[in-house]
Amino acid sequence: MKQNAVEPKREPLIRPRTLKVLMAGFAAVLGALLLVEGWAHRHVIFPWEEWYGFYAAFGFVAYVMLVFVAQYLLRPIVMRDEGYYDR
């Protein structure tokens, strides 16, 4: 049996327009939270916690470091050969 039929084009789970709208919404919420931070009273322990945007920057740097540690330090430790589970 010949299979020359072209497969129907499948839609992605999330359409690109929907993804752009969601990302714009997330960015707007994060920007609003960063602006509102100036009115929030915090009980800080260390002086650098008073810096405007400290927690946003700290969270971003921690996330980037987590990704790099997982990719370059942990991945080689837990990575297996391609046919490891077929044995």
Q: Each residue of 24-81: pLDDT tens digit?
A: 999 999 999 989 988 888 889 999 999 998 988 999 999 999 999 999 999 888 888 8
Does some domain include residue 50?
Answer: yes
Q: Is there a domain that residue 5 lies in?
A: no
pTM value? 0.61
pLDDT score of 81: 84
Structural domain contains residue 27: yes
Backbone φ and ψ for 28, nearest 5 degrees, come out as -65, -40
Torsion angle, alpha carbons of 23, 24, 28, 29, to 10: -30
Q: Domain range spanning residue 64?
A: 16-78
The answer as to whether 86 is a domain residue is: no
Asked if residue 47 belongs to a domain, the reply is yes
* Domain count within the chain: 1
Angle at 21 between CA 14 and CA 39, to 5 degrees: 135
